[in-house]
Amino acid sequence: MKGYSGLTILGDGKVAMVLDTESIGTTAKLILAEEHLQGLSAQEVSIGSMGELQELLLFKCSGPEIFGLNLGMIARVDKLESRNIQVVGDQEYMNFRGNVLRLIRLADYLPVAKVQRDEEKLYVIIPKMANKHRGIIIQEIQGTVEAELDIDEGELKVAGLFGSAILKDRIILLLNLYELFDMVDPESLEIMSREKIKDEQKTVLLVEDTPFFTKLVKQYLEWAGYHVLSARNGREALGIVRQQLVDVVLTDINMPVMDGTTLVKTIRANEELAKIPVIALTSSVLSEGQEILLMEAGFDAHECKFDRTHLLGKIVAVEHKRGGEPL
């Protein structure tokens, strides 16, 4: 919807809509004084301001550990009354909008404390995963925080976690939802294998300057069977594509030295490289104006860094549609 950039979750679990000032200003045909002096439009400024700070929901389950999950991976957080939890065999479920939603307790799958607490006050996190009907039971919402993460993959790196990070002197355990759900439902791995490439191994160049997102997207790609090359900025990426055969380029927008927009324009201007499919990676919802600017710059498509299923599908699609209409 124009005028909104997405949703955020407040400390009490309520969902609040986030205004998109760029979209509002464009609709109202407003131009900031600074932009007017520089002769720039609001849209031209906004494409370079897609920040890489992560907005995390912080929460506790039954124990004292604090978990963090990026809001880009969350569809909603609802209050959950224990009387609405239905047990079938050794699994817990709830009725969510007429659909059966399997409920997960992190202490059953991760090496964290499992403490008996008051079951009356519960919440359920429902992730944005198109092929999964799962909910994570939590007991306490700590709030949301926006920060750059320095991930430690040492002692606290186990299946289901990316690792840990320190925020305001607190240890935050960062959930890896795809690994977690693979642990919960291992038989689904065979079904999900259709997301893996079937033919010869293809090479994807991942251009990303943030270590967290590099690890996240690389994990998706390697899981699907791609050979992954990495670059920290556009200049490094150009050096790679000029020397090695690359089937698809995935690139962040904001990067030092050379950003993603300059990178794709340089690729399109080079006769030998022009046909390489290039996908823009984003960590937040884009406005209509930003989407148009990305397509005009030469990107074949854009996709969220957190959505493994859609990202892998988009890679296959652009390989078959290079030179056609943008996806």
CATH (domain of 297): 3.40.50.2300
User: Global pTM?
Assistant: 0.68
- Would 189 be classed as within a structural domain? no
Number of domains in the chain: 3
Give every CB contact of residue 58 below 8 A, 6+ residues apart in sequence.
Answer: 66, 67, 68, 141, 142, 143, 144, 145, 167, 172
Q: Cα dihedral angle (157, 311, 3, 45), rounded to 10 degrees?
A: 90
Both 204 and 278 in one domain: the answer is yes
Per-residue model confidence as pLDDT tens for the chain (327 residues): 677 877 777 766 778 888 877 667 767 766 554 444 344 333 333 333 344 567 889 999 988 999 999 887 888 899 998 889 999 998 999 998 888 999 999 999 999 988 877 677 899 999 886 556 889 999 999 988 887 777 777 777 788 888 888 888 899 999 988 888 888 887 665 545 555 665 567 899 999 988 778 888 998 899 888 999 999 999 999 999 999 999 999 999 988 889 999 999 999 999 999 999 999 998 766 777 788 888 899 999 998 887 787 888 889 888 777 644 445
Residues 164 and 60 in one domain: yes
| 108 shares its domain with 209 | no
Q: Residue 100: inside a domain, yes or no?
A: yes
Structure tokens belonging to residue 260: 């993603």
Is the domain of 119 the same as that of 225?
Answer: no
Question: Is residue 15, in this structure, part of any structural domain at all?
Answer: yes
Is 292 part of a structural domain of the chain?
yes
Query: 215 and 308 share a domain?
Result: yes
173 and 157, same domain (yes or no) = yes
Side chain identity at 115, as an amino acid letter? V
Query: Do 160 and 265 lie in a common domain?
Result: no
Q: What are the CA-CA distances from residue 154 to residues 22, 157, 158, 236 (Å)?
A: 41, 6, 9, 28
Whether 310 and 206 share a structural domain? yes
Domain for residue 112, yes or no? yes
Domain stops at, among 160, 184, 208: 184
Domain match, 309 and 201 both: yes
* Average pLDDT for the chain: 81
The domain boundary residue, chosen from 184, 216, 240: 184
Q: CATH no. for residue 174? A: 2.40.50.180
Same domain, 67 and 27: no
- What Å distances lie between residue 5 and 208, 296, 302, CA to CA? 23, 21, 16
Confirm whether 237 is domain-assigned: yes
Are 178 and 209 found together in one domain? no
- What is the span of the domain harbouring residue 209? 196-321
Residues 173 and 102 in one domain: yes
Query: What digits encode the pLDDT tens for the residues 169-226?
Result: 899 999 988 888 888 887 665 545 555 665 567 899 999 988 778 888 998 899 888 9
- Residue 102 falls inside a structural domain: yes
191 occurs within a structural domain: no
